[in-house]
Amino acid sequence: MNPAFDLHPIQAVTGLPIYSDSVTSIDGATLFLARTQSGPRLGVLAARESPLRSRFDRDVTESGGQLLSLCPLTHANAVALREALLWLQPRPLGLRTSAGCGDRLGLATPGHVRAARQVQERPGQPVLGMIFAQQSIREMTRTARTPEQVLDDATSGTFQEGWRASVGADADHLKTLTDLERCAAVGYSFFTIDPGEHVDSGADKAGSQALLAAFEALPWPQLETTPADLRARYANLRFDLGDRALALDQETLARAGVKYGRAVAHTVRMYRRLVEVRGARAFELEASVDETATPTSPAEHAFIASELKRLGVRWVSLAPRLVGRFEKGVDYIGDLHAFERDLAAHAAIARAMGPYKLSLHSGSDKFSIYPIAAQHAQESGRKAQCEDAEVGNTRARTTWNRFRALETKEDRGEP
């Protein structure tokens, strides 16, 4: 409950149960979320002269010299709420610990907020960067939702629970310019570019003649280089990873180029369009090649990062295809020692070529790898970003109380 407010006057005026943590006073008005028989309503209790009064689509009644508005949770009202309460506006989160929650149905954000708050209250815990709005276009299509609905539902849940730290909003696994533009127009702050359809996993086992032909056939104008220039650049290039150096011989370079060259070109195209449509509004980008058939080797990771940097892309995180399997809702499937060696190598590259974060997708319920991820994130001076689970400081233990924190208040019969 928000101790700064006495709920009784608001309840007396509205006759409704109030979500206590939502109550906020600003510009001569009190904003809150109330429960009604037809669902939650945004409440605005304001003096007649309050500038906030006219921002919301509302029905107005007068009580005790103040005007009461009970507003439906429409897109227009969600936009107005974000404009009034700046901490609800998605913004870049940088290299701090971040976690994307992936509320697929628009109902779980209150529970996500309470779980995040539990983690945040641990002694010594750094400030979390929470991404409550996170959904891919594929998931939106399957659940019949829009980018606006995903963002608005997260706004409502965040407001309900009184979360006032910075939040991001992730337009996840974007594959087309059209989908990117849709999400950018709504106000997302984080854009996960998925060029997986442009990754050629067959390069791993291609014969020398087929590999050479595929290398020569890469979209060199889009990559803004030539085969000869690319070979010359990497001939004497060494990536200093601290405890070791990494070099790409001609065959390794060819395989990396064939496998990921078109993916790099697609990511560059998406990034440059994002710069155009966002204008002066800051944003963050992730390059994600995790949904592919074969793992990303450290050499291939270095190639991707080197080429993106050469082509002017700025990114905050990268999701390589790690060894093993990351299936939703179950623990990591694979050899933990192999996973640790792989993650350590990718973390070293992210340190040397960034710094930027490594992103672990489908990270929920991966209890066996949380300590490994936390260790290498701490060694990197950063934290791992993980879809659906807070990984950075997890100790790979989950208690009944932690699960209960994911329930909504309605589940427990509370307002």
**pLDDT digits 0-9 by tens, 232-251:** 999 989 999 988 899 999 99
235-249, 263-277, 381-395: range with lowest mean pLDDT: 381-395
- Average pLDDT of every residue of the chain: 88
pLDDT of residue 397: 33
User: How many domains is the chain partitioned into structurally?
Assistant: 2
* Domain span holding position 163: 88-410
Is 365 an active-site residue? no
Q: Please check whether residue 297 lies inside any domain of the structure.
A: yes
Both 256 and 287 in one domain: the answer is yes
Q: Which of 245-249, 275-279, 303-307, 358-362 has the lowest mean pLDDT?
A: 358-362
Residues 280 and 401 in one domain: yes
Any domain includes 34: yes
Band of residue 396 on the pLDDT scale cut at 50, 70, 90: very low
pLDDT on residue 379: 53
Digit-coded pLDDT (tens) for 353-386: 999 999 988 887 899 998 998 888 765 433 334 4
Q: Are 378 and 359 in contact (CB under 8 A)?
A: no
Q: How confident is the model at residue 5 (pLDDT cuts 50, 70, 90)?
A: low
* Local confidence band at 103 (pLDDT 50, 70, 90 cut-offs): confident
**Assigned domain for 272 exists:** yes
Q: What does the pLDDT read at residue 203?
A: 98
Rg (CA), the chain: 24
pLDDT attached to residue 63: 64
- Active-site entry in 194, 286, 307, 387: 286
Of 73, 100, 130, the position where a domain reaches its end is: 73
66 and 99 together in one domain: no
Is 173 found in the same domain as 27?
no
Average pLDDT over residues 3-31: 84
Q: Are residues 168 and 209 in the same domain?
A: yes
CA distance 54 to 230: 59
* Residue 65 sits in the same domain as residue 149: no
Average pLDDT of span 280-301 = 96
As a whole number, mean pLDDT of residues 314-332 equals 94
* Any domain includes 83: no
Do 56 and 174 sit in the same domain of this protein? no
Q: Tens digit of pLDDT for each residue in 47-56?
A: 888 888 788 8
Those residues whose C-beta lies under 8 Å from the C-beta of residue 289, and which sit 6 or more positions away, are 194, 195, 196, 199, 260, 263, 296, 304, 319, 320, 321
Residues 119 and 167 in one domain: yes
Q: Are residues 107 and 197 in the same domain?
A: yes
Q: Cβ distance 151 to 168 under 8 Å?
A: no
Q: Does 79 reside within a domain?
A: no
* Residue where a domain terminates, one of 45, 73, 101: 73
Does 293 fall in a domain?
yes
Q: Is residue 2 part of a domain?
A: no
Q: Which of 46, 73, 100 is the last residue of a domain?
A: 73
**CATH number for the domain that contains residue 315:** 3.20.20.70
What is the structure's pLDDT at 240? Answer: 93
Phi first, then psi: give them for residue 174, nearest 5 degrees: -80, 130
- pLDDT exceeds 90 at position 121: no
On whether both 121 and 23 belong to a single domain, the answer is no
Give the separation between CA 331 and CA 295, rounded to whole angstroms: 18
Q: What angle do CA 320, 151, 115 make, to 5 degrees?
A: 70
The verdict on 239 and 325 lying in the same domain is: yes
For residues 93-119, average pLDDT: 91
Indicate whether 289 and 149 sit together in one domain: yes
pLDDT at position 393 is 33
- Cα–Cα–Cα angle for 108, 114, 120, rounded to 5 degrees: 135
pLDDT at 4: 54
Longest CA–CA separation in the chain, Å: 84
Cβ distance 203 to 259 under 8 Å?
yes
Using 50, 70 and 90 to split pLDDT, how confident is the model at 351? very high
pLDDT for the residue 404: 42
153 is a domain residue:
yes
pLDDT at 413 over 50: no
Known active-site residue 148: no
Q: Which of 152, 172, 387, 390 is catalytic?
A: 172
Peptide bond into 355 cis (omega under 30): yes
